[in-house]
Amino acid sequence: MSVTSSAVKGDGNRCSRSCYNCPSCTSPLQITHVSHRDEGLLKPNDAAGDDETYVLQCQFCDWSSLEIDVRFSKPTKITEQLAKQQKTRTSSTHSTTASNQKPLDHDEKFTNLVSFYKDQLNDSGDPQNPYSNSPHNSPANLARIMSLYGGLSYNALKKTREKPQPMREALGTPEGFVSFHADRSDSELIRRSQASGWDGTITSEQQDSAPSNYDSRFNGELWPSATQLRTKRAKRCKTCRHIIARPEPNVGNMRYKIRLLAMNYIPRLMLKSLHSATPLANPAFLLKPGMPQADDLQPHKAQQYILTVKNALFETVKISLATPATTPGKVASRVTILCPSFTVGPAGEVWDEALSASNEPNSDGDRKAAMASLTGSSESSERQPEAGKIWEKTRNSTSIIVEIVPGALQPPPSIVPKTEQQLTDEELGEDDDVLEVPVYVRAEWEAEIKPGETVQAKKDANAMPGEKVSKEIGYWVVLAAGRIAG
Amino acid sequence: MTTKPDPPSTRQSSTVVPLVKPTCKIHPNATVADKAHLLGSHTISIDSNTIIHPQARLNASHGNISIGAGSIVAEKSVVGLSSEPDDEDSNITIGSDVSIESGAVIQARKVGDNCTLGTNCKVGKGVVLGKWCTVAALCEVGEGEVLEDYTVVFGEGRKGRRVDGVVRERREVREVRRRGMEMEREVLRGIVVDSKMKWMG
């Protein structure tokens, strides 16, 4: 349920409907009904009209409003019913202890004080001043001026000076003034805390849970606290001011409608060795550091990899890949992308994927692939990668072949003796032996402008909804193939 | 789960949890799911109307377990000592109408009648819970604690405990709770398929 900010200004920042939190453990309270029939022993007269009463019950710590003996006749308008009960409760305690002037509660004291001081301000204010039109409206000033001109006698002057009554302070309970009494209630408190001990008292957090609990001291005196309202704010990007997340009017809805994250746009790349059956282990997750891996890349030995590009967009994407012929860094490896430009089909919902997979289980390609994966004698070993050809294509991913020739860690020996500078240059730093290939990915696609789309590039601003606009993104990625054997 | 058909061995306790079928005394009215795990070499006794969910684990490796009438042991909960007990008394006694909710880990020596042990709560070794106690979800009761009747554990330390006066004073609230348990058992009996013969035979 959302509350407008004007309502918050008027009613305060707590829920004014039926949302309450447990004063004991702060979890939300639920309205549960207890039927009267079982209480026959306690309330025999109540069986007449309403068969059911409602209580607020905490599902976590079993606190219930029965602890303060509060029941509700209907499950709606809890705030109203609660306020009424609280009022009758306090007024009844007053009437029973009226003789010994039981202190009023904070709200009443405050209203008394406010009305008293308003009256005082009216009484002592300007309307009482007979010279209210004069610029010298302070009585002291006036008196000085009058004495200067000698218009009035000293006694008369004294009288006029006394006329505007000085503002006095509140005196007595009807005016809101309450003095400290060391009365019976204090000894009562001491007696109660002696009886109940530390465990019977409540914590300061529980006292602060709601204004009605500020004066509570013992278990069983806590009133449910109205749930505090929370704000839900939209988030904007720091640089481009696009709205990244926008709150939903429906509180329970967690879906983000705005697709601005890179995850929703950029095609994902995956590198896999063509010949090894097991996926290539990331060098960062080696079990034993320094252990020479069986998969370590042999220098000068051409390796073929399957590069799979997976589309995250709902449109068909044209991909162009570019890479330097040799990798940058100390160890230069040669890299060749056999098919640098191709298309990737559109992504669908998760269900589409699952259904399309089950729809064509008997298709020839699938069976062959399954056989290949079972027997291990894959046809891919027979198949030769060809330049300019796509290796494999599924609905929203396309695989191509990349050929990498790892460079040697040690430079070739030379006859000419090397200088100091050259020697330090050749020294390998940490992780210099990891073969990493930088790849520039450029994706182009035609997007349809949806009516009411908030995210718009500037140049598309005058395009009509429903029209197709070509969009493109380009970015660099680094693909790690493994460590080069030394 | 694999169980050996031979009767439980004579050894009283072992550090390794053996895959020995415990001696089970299950009341004919009780419901024990096929996929429940009853293990250990000691005796597990389950009284009438009690329902043991699938994937509930009763581990009698270190002592006897007895569960009173009308209790519910939910899935993924573990009842039983996980390691060798510190003292002689290694048995676990759970009263009647006790609700052990899912994921609760109960190693208490005694759980009184009508207790509610919330989701994923932990009750340590040697704990004695009185009647009508409630351990709220995710709360813990440390080893060897003794809680009096009607205690509610909803937080940490002494301030996370309180005696539930409503339940103590009002018979009708207790009645409502009892009826709730009754309804829950009624529903569960229709859902949980009973196969106590597997454990008794």
The pLDDT tens digits for A286-326 are 555 554 455 677 888 888 888 888 888 878 889 999 998 88
A54 interaction partners in chain B (CB closer than 8 Å): none
Q: Give residue A220's region: left, alpha or beta (phi > 0; psi -120 to 50).
A: left
> Of B136, B170, B176, which is closest to A61 when you measure between CB atoms?
B136
* Statement to judge: residues A365 and A458 lie in one domain: yes
Task: Please tell me the distance from the alpha carbon of residue B160 to that of residue B152, in angstroms, as a whole number.
Answer: 8
Q: What percent of chain B has pLDDT over 90?
A: 60
- Nearby residues of B101 by Cβ (< 8 Å), 6 or more positions away: B74, B77, B116, B117, B118, B119, B121, B137
* Statement to judge: residues A257 and A332 lie in one domain: no
CB–CB contact A60 B176 (8 Å) = no
CB–CB contact A38 B165 (8 Å) = no
* Strand ranges (E), B37-182: 37-40, 43-46, 51-52, 57-60, 65-67, 72-73, 78-79, 92-94, 99-100, 105-106, 110-111, 116-117, 122-123, 128-129, 134-135, 140-141, 146-147, 151-153, 161-163
Task: Kindly give the interhelix angle for A154-162 and A139-149, rounded to the nearest 10 degrees.
Answer: 170
B166 interaction partners in chain A (CB closer than 8 Å): 62, 64, 66-67
Nearest Cα to Cα of residue A402 among A467, A352, A334, A465: A334
Look at A252-256, B87-91, B94-98 and tell me which has the smallest mean pLDDT: A252-256
Which of residues A247, A264, A281 is at a domain's end?
A264
Q: What is the mean pLDDT of residues A459-465?
A: 54
* B8 in any annotated domain: no
Q: Report which secondary-structure segment, H or E, holds A474.
A: strand A468-483
| Nearest chain A residue to B175, by CA | A38
- By the 8 A CB rule, do A11 and A47 touch? no
> Of A34, A60, A67, which is closest to B172 when you measure between CB atoms?
A34
- The owner of tokens 């720091």 is A238
What pLDDT is stored for residue A313 in this prediction? 80
* A316 in any annotated domain: yes
CA A403 from centre of chain: 46
Tokens of B106: 């109960």
* A160 in any annotated domain: no
* Statement to judge: residues A236 and A274 lie in one domain: no
Domain containing A241: what range? 232-264
CB–CB contact B165 A61 (8 Å) = no
* A183 in any annotated domain: no
**Band (B3; pLDDT cuts 50, 70, 90):** very low
* Statement to judge: residues A250 and A378 lie in one domain: no
Task: Please tell me the distance from the alpha carbon of residue B17 to that of residue B15, in angstroms, as a whole number.
Answer: 6
* A179 in any annotated domain: no
* B169 in any annotated domain: yes
B163 interaction partners in chain A (CB closer than 8 Å): 199, 219
What pLDDT is stored for residue A46 in this prediction? 42
Q: Taking CB atoms and an 8 Å cut-off, how many pairs form between chains A and B? A: 49
Task: Please tell me the distance from the alpha carbon of residue B28 to that of residue B195, in angstroms, as a whole number.
Answer: 11
**Band (A465; pLDDT cuts 50, 70, 90):** low
* Statement to judge: residues A299 and A244 lie in one domain: no
* Statement to judge: residues A251 and A281 lie in one domain: no
Residue A61 touches chain B, beta carbons under 8 Å: yes
Model pLDDT for residues A350-394, shown as the tens digit of each residue = 666 566 554 444 444 555 555 555 555 444 455 777 777 888 888
**Chain A interface disruption, residue of B151, B172, B175, B179, most A CBs within 10 A:** B172
* A163 in any annotated domain: no
- The owner of tokens 């009509």 is A464
Residue B136 touches chain A, beta carbons under 8 Å: yes
CB–CB contact B154 A60 (8 Å) = yes
Buried/exposed A208-237: b ≥16 CB within 10 Å, e otherwise: ebbebbeebeebebbbbbbbebeeeeeeee
* Statement to judge: residues A247 and A351 lie in one domain: no
The count of domains in chain A is: 3
> Of B158, B161, B173, which is closest to A66 when you measure between CB atoms?
B173
Model pLDDT for residues A22-31, shown as the tens digit of each residue = 988 888 898 8
The mean pLDDT of chain B is 86
Q: Give residue A329's region: left, alpha or beta (phi > 0; psi -120 to 50).
A: left
Which of residues A70, A102, A134 is at a domain's end?
A102
CA distance B172 to chain A (A): 6
| Nearest chain B residue to A39, by CA | B172
Predicted confidence (pLDDT) at residue A52 exceeds the cutoff of 80: no
- The owner of tokens 């030379």 is A414
Q: What is the mean pLDDT of residues B132-161?
A: 91
Residue B155 touches chain A, beta carbons under 8 Å: yes
| Nearest chain A residue to B138, by CA | A60
* A155 in any annotated domain: no
CB–CB contact B137 A199 (8 Å) = no
> Of A38, A60, A203, which is closest to B176 when you measure between CB atoms?
A38
The count of domains in chain B is: 1
Model pLDDT for residues B100-128, shown as the tens digit of each residue = 999 999 999 999 999 999 999 999 999 99
**Chain B interface disruption, residue of A61, A202, A222, most B CBs within 10 A:** A61
Q: What percent of chain A has pLDDT over 70?
A: 62
CA distance A206 to chain B (A): 11
Q: Report which secondary-structure segment, H or E, holds A442.
A: strand A434-448
**Chain B interface disruption, residue of A30, A35, A38, A51, most B CBs within 10 A:** A38
What pLDDT is stored for residue A112 in this prediction? 81
CB–CB contact B134 A61 (8 Å) = yes
Residue A220 touches chain B, beta carbons under 8 Å: yes
Q: What is the mean pLDDT of residues A195-203?
A: 82
> Of B158, B162, B172, which is closest to A24 when you measure between CB atoms?
B162
- By the 8 A CB rule, do A47 and A37 touch? yes
Looking at residue B78, what DSSP letter applies?
A: E
Could you tell me which residues are beta bridge partners of residue A344?
Answer: A317
Q: List, as ranges, residues 63-102 from A with C-beta within 8 Å of B.
A: 63-64, 66-67
Q: List, as ranges, residues 171-200 from A with C-beta within 8 Å of B.
A: 198-199
Predicted confidence (pLDDT) at residue A456 exceeds the cutoff of 60: no
**Band (B8; pLDDT cuts 50, 70, 90):** very low
* Statement to judge: residues A96 and A237 lie in one domain: no
Residue B11 touches chain A, beta carbons under 8 Å: no
**Chain A interface disruption, residue of B162, B164, B178, B179, most A CBs within 10 A:** B162
- The DSSP result for A372-412, as a single string, is HHHHS--HHHHS---TT--SEE-SSEEEEEEEEEPPPSSPP
* B191 in any annotated domain: yes
Determine whether A413 is exposed, middle or buried from the number of CB atoms within 10 Å of its CB (0-12, 13-18, 19+). exposed
* A154 in any annotated domain: no
Domain containing B95: what range? 23-200
Q: Report which secondary-structure segment, H or E, holds B168.
A: helix B165-169
* B14 in any annotated domain: no
Residue B170 touches chain A, beta carbons under 8 Å: yes
* B7 in any annotated domain: no
Predicted confidence (pLDDT) at residue A35 exceeds the cutoff of 60: yes
CB–CB contact A67 B165 (8 Å) = yes
* Statement to judge: residues A244 and A375 lie in one domain: no
Predicted confidence (pLDDT) at residue B136 exceeds the cutoff of 90: yes
A294: Cα within 13 Å, side-chain hemisphere: 5
* Residue A99 or B65, more confident: B65
Residue A60 touches chain B, beta carbons under 8 Å: yes
CB–CB contact A61 B152 (8 Å) = yes
> Of A25, A66, A220, which is closest to B170 when you measure between CB atoms?
A66
Domain CATH number, residue B166: 2.160.10.10
ipTM above 0.85?
no
CB–CB contact B136 A25 (8 Å) = yes
What pLDDT is stored for residue B186 in this prediction? 93
